[in-house]
Structure 1
Amino acid sequence: MIKRFLTVSSMLSLLLAMNTNLSQAETLVPIDEYIAKTTHTYTTNADKSEYTINVPHLRVAGDYVYMDNALKSEPIKLPIIQKDGQQYVDLDLATAVLGVTYTVNNGVVTVNAAPIRMEKRTSPEMKGPVSWAFDPFTTTPYSGLMNTSGDNIISPSWFELQDKGLKLNKNINASYVQTYRDQGYRVWPLISNQFDPKFTSTVVNNESKWDAYVQQLAQYAYIYGFDGYNFDFENVSYKDRDALTKFVAYLADTLRTYNIRTSIDVTGYSDSPDWSMVYNRKAFSESVDYVVLMAYDETWASSTKAGPVASYPWVKRHATDMLKEVPANKLVLGIPYYMRIWTVTDGKAKGKTLQIKDTPQYYENYKDQITWNDTLKTHFLEIPVSAAAKTQAEQDSLEKQAAVINEAKEAGDIIGVEVQVLSTNVVSTNASANNITATTSNSTMTDNDTAGNKTTTTTPKKITGSKVVEQIWFEDNNSLGYKLDLVKDLKLAGFAAWRKGFEDANTLDLISKANLGGKHTSTSHTDKDKRKKSTVKEKTKSTKEDIPMVRVVRTHS
């Protein structure tokens, strides 16, 4: 298809430009021309950089959507596209819900006030398995599809439930939507519940509020060109389980009448009432188009015990168990683009997020200490705090280093050192980021489930006396590759990555080549690793077992 740039001037003349590399149409109406023709009332800020239009209540009847001015209107942020320093409204991205329509005759565009009804927009069938990324901070759009096995979805975090309708994220913009639509993406903004159980209770138990949410969601979808929405409702009181189920069904069922799709995020299974048991996963699967399993945070950020974010046995077990409630063609596997680095002091851990793109320093500086755990399907690293501080120092300025040291001294945090003799396995590696091939494991396993679906933990080698270490269970191309294989092996609806901006070029390359089981025929994760070993010359060291290494470990009181 061909993308048309139809720019309407104040004289309503037509400027036509052709670009065969793009696929969508644009009919750009100058903002003043739109304001002169729309049937909607509006407000604007002092510099006229933003406009809010009041959109009439929508009503579906058969194949048509009616705009009913007799009922309460909803305030909607007008989608403005900046081009060459001018402000435009794209009439092809939006619909007659904007309050205008246009015709083209003999190269002349005519803009008219919209009628009170319009044809219900179409909703093309979804093609799976889907490739999905969550983009909470509206980062720079991808320059191509993530994977060609099926449809690609991007979910910017643009909406939040509030007491009266939706709270809009300041980052919402039409150009972002247009860029992704040009590349063939479906845009499904994320809607959160503020993660506030008391507030959420007031929403799900008050059905009189529900129509306002649906109205705004339908209006934004029709005006901005959204294909669907993602519901991210977390930390909900268990007492509201039935009310939440009914609320989600209302949103999904009503939006479907507008041909707008929906999805909902759910955790894996646990005995936590408000974080897991509150989800009626089977009922959700009967309402929404996709159920997204957030298969990460196996070890929570607030945990005092260190562990992996998403070990393979844990992910596989939860996905397999959820298939008993959610059909495979509706279950999307969430994958993490992050891990945690844990500072463990005398057995008590404190974690902070580590992005995939920030890990190359560890692969380079600790290549001989990183081990592969073939049960967890992850690389593991344990380093003394002194060594970790050295790596951090390479990144930080001298001023920042001095501040950290002074703070530690003032707090009396470091009071001495002790020499520890550790036993380690030296492994052969390829030190490039995300592509380490380790041959031995330095972990002890505890299995709590049946073979193949084990709940496993990695216990670092015990050192007597007070100590501080940092531990990382890595997410990289190897660990992610095994998780992506589950999409194909379990015939799931696709994957969804949290979150865009944490990954690096190696990750995107893995995603693009992954065989998810659809029409895409790229090399599988396992075969790709074998091919890499045969064609890439690796840095090698002779393997030595149980060689004592002397390390200086900073100790605490």
Structure 2
Amino acid sequence: MESDYSNDLLKPRKSKRLRFILLSLLIVIVLGVGFGYYWAKFVPTGKHEKPTFAGLVKPIFYQGEMLEKPATGKEESLKLPFDTVKELIDPSMIHESESESTIITTQDKVIRLRTSQLTGMLNEKPFTLKFPLEKVEGTLYLPMEPIKQLYPIELRESPETGAVILVKEGDTLEWGKTVAYPDKPSKTIPMRKEAAIKSPILVDIKQGESVMIWSDDNPEWYRIQLSSGYMGYVSKDHLKPDRKETLPKQVPPPSFVPVKPITGTINMTWEQVFNKNPDTTKFPPMPGLDVVSPTWFSLEDGQGTIKNIGDPAYIKWAHANNIQVWGLFSNGFEPKRTTEALSTYDKRMKMIKQLLSYAQLYSLQGINIDFENVNLDDKDELVQFVREMVPLMHEQGLVVSMDVTPKSTNEMWSMFYDRKALIESLDYMMLMAYDEFWASSPTSGSVASLPWVEKSLTRMMSEDKIPASKLILGVPFYTRIWTEEQVNGKTKVSSRSVFMEAQQRIIKEKNLTPKFLPEAGQNYVEYKEDGKLNRIWMEDEVSMKARVDLVKKYQLAGIASWRRGYELPPIWSLINNALQ
């Protein structure tokens, strides 16, 4: 039997051994945790994951973003969705579902492509497509071969994956190059799914390979794209910025240059023709007049038929006096008829072809479009009509101009004009700066006070970016006699339009003395007759000189007057001398 003394000797040794075991175990745990932390934080994963395009077989990329709908075909047969082309290449492109037609308009071309047909129309002349438009599962696809000839774009198609990278004129691509390791030639650079070393590797990139850099916002990672279309992240330690590539802007085709009048600044007048053309032998001299626009053509029905009351004798007189003729085409101010005629390509082209035929028949130098009282819903269709019309007119050397009202909140008088879009096609835009106070206005006022005219002018130039070189100021050769009478304690207002001669006759007959109104920039007279007050804001040499001064102040393309026959003969010399 051991003594208690022996047991007491063994206890310290057991205790030391236990402490040693516990300490060793603690060290192992600490080392294990530390190693695990190090492994988790600093050791990249070698796990690979196959890259995909989210289920798309032939994805399209723009500016580092994959688009919702894919492409179809390849190389020459490559096609892109219509919506993609419209959004990214030409927002003005339209598709008419009724006729299954896609219509593309450029500065000098009108192209019509019909679904499933290999024959297209270019400026109404047939041409052959290698591959047609087609619908795939309800999505319309456009062949890219003709599109690439029309627009300054590149479609970089990967032979490896079929992915398509769209690059447009002016776009800048930033390229980087993966670093090289001369002592480790077989080493690859991992492109990861996310910006983290534990994110799986999508592609092992070769050393010295060029990649597109789309983002460097992360301090440690670049977001990149390979020529195959695959996208991911590469550590900044493994990639160096290399170069920038900008797709150069192409030299646009020579733009149409309207034949300028001899004076350089246009002096135009409208000729209002109802049923019978005027006798030109009775015209007084009109020194300085460059252009006449007779109201010869008008929309007759919703099918696009145009009524023509042109006169060869009028043309002969104009050309003998070195005056250009821009035939006016009116919608008859009929909104329903206008809606119908603008609704399809075939109807719009029917109108255009008739105008081209009349222009050739009468040796016109231009067409002046006068569409008024149009539904707001037809705003885009009116722009499309002009876009389709101008290239074909320019092909025949014809100037195309359009009359617009000042800007206001009146939908059918002003808001239906998309002035900013229209001026992209037009050679000239005439601002009809009159009817500030219109015929049925509840209050009396000037037809066109000078501050109102100037404000209307500058507003269009600033808000709609109408260049002065394309803007012509429309001025009135008429005024209104406003009659005010008291009826049941209220002022009742009525008016009638008069020519310049009529106002002068009234002033003479009634021995009136015109008074200049600075706030209107016009002379003014008033008189009482049968207990009623008559008021006239005068259109005369004073108001006309002020408007010509606006043309010069803003260096506008010219002046246009409504209408010939309303003026007094001396006005022509005044305008001509003032323009000089």
TM-score bin (small chain): 0.5 to 0.7
Q: Could you tell me how far apart the structure 1 residues matched to 2:429 and 2:258 are?
A: 19
C-alpha deviation, 1:257, in angstroms:
2.1
Tell me which residue corresponds to 1:299: 437
Match for residue 270 of structure 2 among 131, 134, 152? 134
Matches within 5 A, 1:79-478: 125-127=259-261, 128-137=264-273, 138-141=277-280, 142=283, 146-147=287-288, 152-161=290-299, 162-170=301-309, 172-324=310-462, 325=464, 326-346=466-486, 347-386=491-530, 468-478=532-542
Opposite residue 490 of structure 1, the aligned amino acid is Y
| Change beyond 3 A, Cα 1:143–1:182 | farther
Separation of aligned partners in 1, 2:258 and 2:386? 22
Q: Distance in 2 between matches of 1:299 and 1:371?
A: 20
Q: Deviations over 1:445-464 (max 9, x none)?
A: xxxxxxxxxxxxxxxxxxxx
Cα deviation for residue 67 of structure 1 reads 10
Aligned to 2:550: 486
The SS at the match of 2:423 is: helix
What SS class does the counterpart of residue 424 from structure 2 fall into? helix
The 8 Å contact of residues 454 and 550 in structure 2, kept in 1 or not, is answered as yes
Number of matched pairs = 319
291-300 or 249-258, larger mean C-alpha shift: 249-258
Determine the C-alpha separation between the residues in 2 that align with 1:357 and 1:371.
Answer: 18
Structure 2's unaligned 5+ residue stretches are: 1-108, 112-121, 127-255
Q: Distance in 2 between matches of 1:505 and 1:196?
A: 34
| TM-score (ref. length: structure 2) | 0.52
- Given the alignment, which residue of 495, 502, 515 partners 2:559? 495
Equivalent AA in structure 1 for residue 346 of structure 2: S
Taking every aligned residue pair, what percent have the same amino acid on both sides?
34
Alignment partners' CA distance in 1, 2:286 and 2:514: 33
Q: How much does 1:66 deviate?
A: 10
The offset of 1:294, in angstroms, is: 0.2
What letter is aligned with 1:271? T
3-state DSSP class of the match of 2:270? strand
Q: Which has the larger radius of gyration?
A: 2
Tell me by how many angstroms 1:164 deviates: 3.8
What whole-Å deviation, never above 9, does each CA across 1:81-118 have from its counterpart, x for those lacking one? Answer: xxxxxxxxxxxxxxxxxxxxxxxxxxxxxxxxxxxxxx
Task: Using the TM superposition, give the Cα deviation of residue 372 of structure 1 relative to its aligned residue in structure 2, in angstroms.
Answer: 1.1
Seen in structure 2, the aligned counterparts of structure 1 residues 187 and 123 have a Cα distance that, compared at 3 Å, is farther
Cα deviation per residue 1:497-522 (whole Å; 9 max; x = unaligned)?
Answer: 0001111122223123222xxxx3xx
Alpha-carbon shift at residue 174 of structure 1 (Å) = 1.0
**Could you list the per-position Cα deviations for residues 361-402 of structure 1 after superposition, in whole angstroms to 9, with x for gaps in the alignment?**
22323455431102211111221123xxxxxxxxxxxxxxxx
Q: Is the 8 A contact 1:159 1:169 kept in 2?
A: yes
Query: What amino acid is aligned across from residue 544 of structure 2 in structure 1?
Result: L
Calculate the aligned-residue CA RMSD, in Å.
Answer: 2.5
Supply the distance in 1 between the matched residues of 2:443 and 2:391 (Cα, whole angstroms). Answer: 42
Query: For 2:124 and 2:376, how far apart are their aligned partners in 1?
Result: 38
Secondary structure of 2:552's counterpart equals helix
Work out whether residues 345 and 469 of structure 1, in 8 Å CA contact, stay in contact via their aligned partners in 2: yes
Kept in 2: contact 1:60–1:258 (CA 8 A)? no
- Please say if residues 303 and 341 of structure 2, whose CA atoms lie closer than 8 Å, have aligned partners that are also in contact: no
Q: Distance in 1 between matches of 2:320 and 2:513?
A: 45
Q: What 5-or-longer segments of structure 1 have no aligned partner?
A: 1-58, 69-121, 387-466, 521-557
1:217-272 Cα shifts (integer Å, max 9, x gaps) = 11111221001100000000111111111112211232222222111100001110
